[in-house]
A and B are shown apart, each in its own frame.
Chain A
Amino acid sequence: MEFRIRRFDGENSFWQSYEVPTKKGMTVLECLYYIRDNLDSTLSFRASCRMGICGSCAVKINGKPKLACETQVSELKNPIVVEPLDNFKVLKDLVVDFEGFFAKHKMVKPFIVRDDIDYNSPVELIQTPKELAKYYNYSLCIKCGACVSVCPAAATSEDYLGPAALVAAYRFCADSRDKDCKDRIEIISSERGVWRCHSAMACSEVCPKKIEPAKAVQLLRRKAIIHSIKKLFRW
């Protein structure tokens, strides 16, 4: 099968085609490895776990962002067009800059905040299955960046927190063990936060883990609204 890959050498962007002998069961990632090992050792791409857990190999395949390791070539039309993710700065070939992506992730405090943790005498934090169900789905995010790459708001606003970071914010706000969501709400309700989302829902459409980032953003927006109304009346 023909692989048409959009390449970038630091200065110029150009298309290059490779003929890859494919067989049933092969993934796009395996083909990228084949190209690098046998046809062109200068081709750069990111990959790690090869099993849809690490989120490193998200690329645009035939126009839609997908995990290369979870995309079967037999499901695709010839030629297979592979491009780097949109809305990210391309560093080389299929490798994009995730620095800003992770910086935004850090901004929303993606960890449980409590003031009663005693490391000398640790205790279990009990949680019912019902409480777990409230955020479990959103904890499956692998930070692949597919959602951000299709988000129309992220396309024109570089500092918009983006669906991935907002999912992380909601995941911890909805966790019964977390005791301080207020800080996170302040961060996500800035003008670079939830208000930039206009429910295009492209993120939910492309998420390889089907975690509905758009829904998380709306639920977070609900929390932000309640928070600002409470603040207005000083509850």
Chain B
Amino acid sequence: MRIMKWFKPVSLQDLAFAFQRLTGFILAMYLILHLAFLSTLSDPLTYESLIAITVSPTFLPLDSLLVLCGIYHGLNGIRVIIHELGYLHEHRKALLVICAILTVIAWLYATWVMYEVV
């Protein structure tokens, strides 16, 4: 499969690209699932029984990983937009490091929020 070449990076820069593509795909699939799930709102009982399963400590790690995908895709997306508008190409490595650090911080915070509430 030639598309596997998207995921064979030669540097950190295209490793970031590979993850952007992967997380984007995961999030798009989640969107479909999310909308399908919310369709059950037409029947409160079904919705409540499903939400009882998904909002539970066993599901939290999966939820946390999904949030990681979202945070990475968003922050790395901002980085890519800066470059795609033609700026800061000379500082791309620094920008990538900043982006990675912010992703980890935001993810830890989000995960903490999720565990606190549940």
Contact = CB atoms under 8 A, between A and B. Distances in A.
Interface string A162-193: 00000000000000000000000000000000
A145 to B, nearest CB: 14
Contact of A152 (B17, B85, B86, B89): B17
Contacts of B3: 156
A202 B10 contact: yes
Interface residues of A, number: 24
Most buried by A among B10, B13, B84: B10
B85 A206 contact: no
Contacts of B84: 199, 218, 221
B14 interface: yes
Nearest to B93: A205
B18 to A, nearest CB: 8
A204 B89 contact: yes
Interface string B1-21: 011011001110110111011
Given A155-B5, A199-B80, A219 B10 contact: no
Given A198-B17, A201-B92, A86 B5 contact: yes
Most buried by B among A65, A152, A202: A152
What 3 A-B pairs come out closest when comparing CB atoms?
A200-B17, A155-B5, A200-B14
Interface of B: 2-3, 5-6, 9-11, 13-14, 16-18, 20-21, 80, 83-86, 89-90, 92
15 contacts: A63-B10, A87-B5, A150-B14, A152-B5, A156-B3, A199-B17, A199-B84, A200-B9, A201-B83, A201-B92, A202-B17, A204-B13, A205-B14, A214-B83, A221-B86
